[in-house]
Amino acid sequence: MESSPQERPVYTMGIAAELLDLPPATLRLYERKGLIEPARTDGGTRRYSANDIDRMRRIADLQTDGVNLAGIGKVMGLQDENAELRASLDRADPE
């Protein structure tokens, strides 16, 4: 199954950090906390997709709003669960 352009991991950490206007250390922190899981090349280099960039942007926005990383993990988990449920409903009733 071929992935969509949004799902293809093409951005290096440096490019992702630049697009998000965040230091690379922040991206590594998000990964350590389990908020993001970048793809890895055979050599171990992180690669981010457009979806990953969007997710990290939402994480950074929540941080700016004063939500701590533990709270962000809960919020993102609930958002992911909600998206899965909506997709499941759409598949069951494709009207």
Calculate the dihedral angle through the C-alpha atoms of 7, 73, 43, 11, rounding to the nearest 10 degrees. 40
Q: Are 2 and 13 contacting, i.e. CB atoms less than 8 angstroms apart?
A: no
User: Domain total for the chain?
Assistant: 1
Give the pLDDT mean for 83-93: 89
95 pLDDT band, cuts 50/70/90, is low
Structure tokens at 73: 């993990």
Give the residue, 65 or 1, on which the prediction is more confident: 65
Structure tokens at 57: 């942007």
Rounded to 5, what percent of the chain is helix, strand, coil?
Answer: 60, 5, 30
pLDDT exceeds 90 at position 21: yes
Q: Which domain holds residue 12?
A: 5-92
pLDDT exceeds 60 at position 2: no
- CATH number at 68 reads 1.10.1660.10
Report pLDDT for 55: 96
52 pLDDT band, cuts 50/70/90, is very high
**Pick from 55, 59, 57, 54: which is nearest to 72 by CA?**
59
How much is the pTM?
Answer: 0.86
Calculate the dihedral angle through the C-alpha atoms of 56, 57, 62, 67, rounding to the nearest 10 degrees. 30
pLDDT tens by residue, 56-68: 999 999 999 999 9
